[in-house]
Amino acid sequence: MLNSYVLVKNLRSNADELVFTDFKLVNIRSSWDYDLKRSQQLFPNAWPLYEDWIFIQGYDGDNNWEIIPFNIEDTLLLLRLFKPGDLVFLQPCIENERGELSCQLPYRVMANVHSAQKYEFQPEECSDFDAFASELKSLLNWSSVWFQTARRFFLYGGGKEYRPHHHEIDRIVDYLTTLESVLVPERDGFTGRRLRERAVLLMGLTENERDNTKRLLKNFYDVRSTIVHGGDISSIKPDTLNKGNDLEVVLRQILVKALRALPEEEKDRISYLKALFDVTDEDRAAMVFSDFCKIKNENEKSKCSEQIIKHVQGNTSK
C-alpha cells in the first residue's frame, strides 16, 4: 500500500474535507490524522500552515511508484482547468507501508505562489470535477504533442507570482506561449492575428464577446512582446495588467475547447486551424510591400524588384 501526499495552498472551501473519486483534500486544522504536526513531518521543507490542505491518494501494491508523480501533476492541471484561481501544490511525497517517505525534488510546476486569487471549491462541485477530469483524460488529444507543450507552459505560468505593481508579470509569457502552441503551428509571421481570430472562433463567441476577447488577447500579446524584447514594462497600462485573471479564464476555456475539438492527427489539426482563420494573399502582399519599402540601399532594392518581376514573369509563362 502506498499513499501520496501533497501540501495544498491557496484553497478555500466551506467544508473541511473534499472527497473525489480518486483522492481527497483535507484541511489541516480540521483533522487529528493530518494536523499541523503530522503535516510538518510530511512536508518538512514546505512550511505548512493551519489554513493549508493536504492532498491524499492511496494505491494498492508497490507497482504504482513511477506513475504517482504524473498522477499528481495531472490532478493539479485538471483542477486548474476546471476553474480559475492560483491553486498551489507543494512537495509531493510517497509513504510506503513502513511509514518511510520519499519526497520529490522541487520543479517549476510545484511552486509556492503567493496570491490573493484564491481557488474556491465547494463539496457539491466534486462530482462535476470527477466527470470533467474523466472526460478530458479520455480524449485522444490529452497525450498529443501540442498539448504536452501547452500544459507545461500553462502550469509554469501558474507557478509564477503575478504582481503587476511590482512588475512580476512573467507568467504572461508562459500563458501566451501556451496559446501559441495550441492555435498557431505556422512559423511565417502573423502570429498575433492568427491567435486572436482562431481563439474567438474556436470558443464560439458572440460578435460582442469576440471584440472584447480579441482586444484582451491583443493587449496581452503586446505585453508579452514588451517583456521578451526587453521593453519598458512600466509603460504598460495598468488597466491591461489588472485583467490578468480575465486572460486566465480565456486561456482555460481555449485549452478545454481545443482538447475536445481539434483533430488528433497533426496535419488535420493544422488544416482545422487554417479553416478557422488564415491570412489572405492581400495580407501577405501588404507585408511584402511594407518590408520592401524599408530597404535603404537602392541597389539592393533594385535587385529585389528585378527578382520579383522575374519570378512573376516566370510563373505567367508556365
List per-residue pLDDT tens for the chain, 318 residues long.
899 999 999 999 999 999 999 999 999 987 777 788 889 889 988 889 889 999 999 998 777 888 999 999 999 999 999 999 999 999 999 998 888 899 988 889 998 888 889 999 999 999 999 999 999 999 999 999 999 999 999 999 999 999 999 899 999 999 999 999 999 999 888 999 999 999 999 999 998 899 999 999 999 999 999 999 999 999 999 999 999 999 999 999 999 999 999 999 999 999 999 999 999 888 888 888 888 889 899 888 888 888 888 888 776 655
Query: For the chain, which residues make up each domain, given as ranges?
Result: 2-124, 140-276, 291-317
Residue 139, pLDDT score: 98
Question: Which stretch of DSSP H or E encloses residue 104?
Answer: none
Residue 318, pLDDT score: 57
Q: What phi and psi, each to the nearest 5 degrees, are found at residue 3?
A: -125, 135
Instruction: Write the burial class of residue 126 (CB in 10 Å: 0-12 exposed, 13-18 middle, 19+ buried).
Output: middle
Do the beta carbons of residue 202 and residue 254 sit within 8 Å?
Answer: yes
Widest CA span of the chain, in angstroms?
85
Which distant-in-sequence residues (6+ apart) come within 8 Å of 134 by Cβ? 21
Residue 316, pLDDT score: 64
Residue 109, pLDDT score: 93
Q: Cα dist. 192→203, 214, 219 in Å?
A: 17, 10, 10
CA gap 186, 270 in Å, rounded:
8
Residue 143, pLDDT score: 95
| Cell numbers representing residue 149 in the block | 507543450
Residue 44, pLDDT score: 86
Residue 310, pLDDT score: 85
Amino acid at 92: P
SS3 at position 269: helix
CA gap 169, 157 in Å, rounded:
9
What's the pTM value of the predicted model, to 2 decimals?
0.91
CA gap 134, 54 in Å, rounded:
22
